[in-house]
Amino acid sequence: MARVIDAAVDNDATCLLAFYRDAPPNVLHHTMTPRRARHYLDRYLAGPYLLDPLYQLAVRKTKPAMCRCRDETPDRFRSSEYFRQYYDRTHLADEMDFLLDTDTKSTLVLVVGRWETRFSRSDVARLRLMEPVIRAAMQRIWNAWAARHSDDERDLSMHQRLTQCFEHFGKTALTQRERQITQLLLRGHSSKSIARELGIAPGTVMVHKRNLFSKLGITSQYELFSLFIDKLSEL
C-alpha cells in the first residue's frame, strides 16, 4: 500500500495506526527512520495522543473518510502547547489522513506525511481518486493484523489511567466547568471556540480561565501543559 501511495504522490513517510475508544493506539506499520519513530511514535504513545486532534477525530462517531489534518484541528491548535512541545517537533509540514472504522470501538488511520512541503491540489485529487483502493487495502491489513492479536493484548489499564488523569486533572482545585475549559485549552481551543463548545459567552470563558490559572498557580498555557505532562509522567 505504501508503494502505491509513493507512486501517486511524493511523500516522506506513512504510518498506519489503530485508534481505540478504550485503549492506547497501536502502530501497525510505518516507514519512518528509527530516530523519527522514537520521537513521533514512542513519545506519542506515552500519553500525548490524548491531546491529538487526530485521536479525537478517530474516536468520534462521525468522521470523514479522508481529510487534511490541519482542516480538522481546533482554531488555536497551532498556538497550543501540545503543538509547540510535541507536534511541531515532528517537523510535519502537511499530512493527509484516511480513516476507516473497523468496528464500533476501533478506527484505522493511515497518515501520509511530508516534512517540508504541503500537498498540492492535484496531490489531494489523486489521493481522493485512490481512496476506495486505499480503504480496501487498510481493511485487508486490519483483518490480517486482528487475526494475530487479541483484544486482551491491549493495555486497557494504562489507557484508563491516562484518560482518568486527563479528565480529573485539577479536580481538587477546580470546579467542573473550569476542568472542562482546562481540557479544551489543552487541546488547542480558543476562548471563542470553547464558548461555542460549551454554549457560554466568550467573556465567561475568560473569567473561568483567569480563575483556573489562579487556582493552579500558573500564568500561561505553557505552564498548564507542563503541569499536565508532569501528572502523566507520574503514572
**163-202 pLDDT, tens digit each:** 888 999 999 999 999 999 999 999 999 999 999 999 999 9
- Cβ atoms of 70 and 53 within 8 Å: the answer is no
Angle at 93 between CA 82 and CA 60, to 5 degrees: 55
User: Which amino acid makes up residue 40?
Assistant: Y
Q: Is 217 left (phi over 0), alpha (psi -120 to 50) or beta?
A: left
* Distance, CA of 64 to chain centre: 15
**Of 228, 220, 222, which is closest to residue 179 (Cα–Cα)?**
228
Count Cα neighbours of 187 within 13 Å in the Cβ-side half-sphere: 24
**70-118 pLDDT, tens digit each:** 999 999 898 888 888 888 877 789 999 999 999 988 999 999 999 999 9
CA distance 169 to 228: 7
**30-58 pLDDT, tens digit each:** 998 888 888 778 888 877 888 999 999 99
Superfamily of domain 2-153: Transcription factor LuxR-like, autoinducer-binding domain (3.30.450.80)
CA distance readout (Å), 75 to 78, 87, 100, 187? 8, 15, 25, 10
Phi and psi dihedrals of 59, rounded to 5?
Answer: -90, 0
Strand boundaries in 21-139, DSSP class E: 26-30, 66-68, 94-101, 106-114
Per-residue confidence (pLDDT) for residue 63, from 0 to 100? 95
- Asked if domains 2-153 and 169-233 share a fold, the reply is no
CA distance 127 to 121: 10
Res. 145: pLDDT tops 70: yes
- Cβ atoms of 12 and 123 within 8 Å: the answer is no
* Distance, CA of 59 to chain centre: 10
CA distance 138 to 108: 7
Rounded to two decimals, the pTM is 0.80
Across 83-101, b (16+ Cβ under 10 Å) vs e yields bebbbeebebebbbbbbbe
Domain at 169-233: CATH code:
1.10.10.10
- Map out the domains of the chain as residue ranges: 2-153, 169-233
**Of 24, 29, 21, 9, which is closest to residue 142 (Cα–Cα)?**
29
